[in-house]
Each structure stands twice: as C-alpha cells, then as structure tokens.
C-alpha cells in the first residue's frame, strides 16, 4: 500500500490559510514533512488530521505554533493515559 502525500500548497488552498503558517507548524513539530522537489514540501496524508486540529486551534483560539505543539502533545498524552489499563478500584 503506497503512502499518500499532500503538498503544503494543496493544504493551504483547501483550508484557506497561508503556506507560511503550515511551514511554521511543521517547524514546531506538529507534523513531519518531506521534500519531493526543491520547492515542493509535502506531508503524509495520515498526518493531515493532526495538522487540521492545529489549524483549528490557531484560528479559533489564537494560539501560536509553539503553543499548539505543546497542546497537541498534552492531548496525545491524555489520550494515551485514558486508553491504558486502569487499576482495579478497591471496595470501601
């Protein structure tokens, strides 16, 4: 199964945002990019939901890219903790 990629230009056009914002989010570690050509930067399609969540946080809450990275990492951690095994509850 081949991995699908989206260009920054495609994403910024669809979400009506500046390409520089997406680049800043990538530089802050929100998702990883790869260069297929010197002037074409892409991300994996599987990283798109995380990037879209970052764009919503930016637009709706006005959080800067570095803050978005921290928020997403905390949300990931909360999800991991809530999905993990829970210790048994002792009866009182």
The answer to whether 28 and 66 have CB atoms below 8 angstroms apart is yes
What's the predicted TM-score (pTM) here?
0.82
Distance (Å, whole) CA 28 – CA 40: 19
Q: 61: how many CB neighbours lie within 10 A of its CB?
A: 10
pLDDT (tens digit, 0 to 9) for every residue of the chain, 92 residues total?
678 999 999 999 999 999 999 999 999 999 999 887 778 899 999 999 999 999 999 999 999 999 999 999 999 999 999 987 766 676 55
Q: 51: how many CB neighbours lie within 10 A of its CB?
A: 21
CATH topology of domain 5-83: Multidrug-efflux Transporter Regulator; Chain: A; Domain 2 (1.10.1660)
What confidence score (pLDDT) does residue 63 get?
97
User: 1 by DSSP, 3-state: which?
Assistant: coil
Percent of the chain residues topping a pLDDT of 70: 91
What confidence score (pLDDT) does residue 28 get?
94
């Amino acid at each position: 199964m081949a991995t699908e990629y989206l260009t920054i230009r495609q994403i910024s056009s669809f979400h009506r945002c500046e390409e520089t914002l997406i680049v800043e989010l990538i530089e802050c570690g929100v998702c990883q990019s790869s260069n297929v050509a010197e002037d074409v930067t892409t991300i994996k399609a599987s990283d798109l939901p995380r990037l879209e969540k970052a764009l919503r946080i930016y637009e709706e809450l006005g959080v800067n890219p570095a803050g978005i990275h921290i928020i997403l990492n905390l949300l990931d951690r909360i999800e991991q903790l809530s999905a993990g095994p829970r210790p048994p509850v002792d009866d009182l």
